[in-house]
Amino acid sequence: GDSVTQTEGLVTVTEGLPVKLNCTYQTTYLTIAFFWYVQYLNEAPQVLLKSSTDNKRTEHQGFHATLHKSSSSFHLQKSSAQLSDSALYYCALNSNNRIFFGDGTQLVVKP
């Protein structure tokens, strides 16, 4: 079946340094889309960025991700973390309108 794996439950980074959140997946479908959702404290999750094109970089709000079907990955990266980036991040895939979420990675950006 379909699944999404986020290996880190917590990532701590110093402000201004780069950050990478890992996401790998398993799926039997060929036509699916991938998402990163962000959830700020006491708010609902919301879409950060999305992609379905292999090897194409997608960017939004300073974050970027590239879908690599060869390695089944969709890692989220930012070159310079900001204090306001502290939040819970979910990787997700849409398989026939059933959305599979990873367990989430809590990002803490320290001054």
Partner 1 sequence: EAAVTQSPRNKVTVTGGNVTLSCRQTNSHNYMYWYRQDTGHGLRLIHYSYGAGNLQIGDVPDGYKATRTTQEDFFLLLELASPSQTSLYFCASSDGRGRHTEVFFGKGTRLTVV
Residues that bind partner 1 (CB under 8 A): 6, 9, 31-33, 35, 37, 43-47, 50, 52, 90, 92, 94, 97-104
At closest approach, how far in Å is the CB of 67 from partner 1?
A: 12
Q: Rounded distance, CA 63 to CA 53, Å?
A: 17
> Which residue lies nearer to partner 1 by CB, 86 or 101?
101
At closest approach, how far in Å is the CB of 79 from partner 1?
A: 25
At closest approach, how far in Å is the CB of 18 from partner 1?
A: 24
Bridge partners of residue 78, in order along the sequence: 19, 63
> Which residue lies nearer to partner 1 by CB, 17 or 47?
47
> Which residue lies nearer to partner 1 by CB, 11 or 33?
33
> Which residue lies nearer to partner 1 by CB, 2 or 15?
2
Q: Rounded distance, CA 92 to CA 97, Å?
A: 12
Note whether 75 and 93 are within 8 A (CB): no
61, 74, 86 from 107: Cα distances, Å: 16, 17, 5
Q: Rounded distance, CA 34 to CA 17, Å?
A: 26
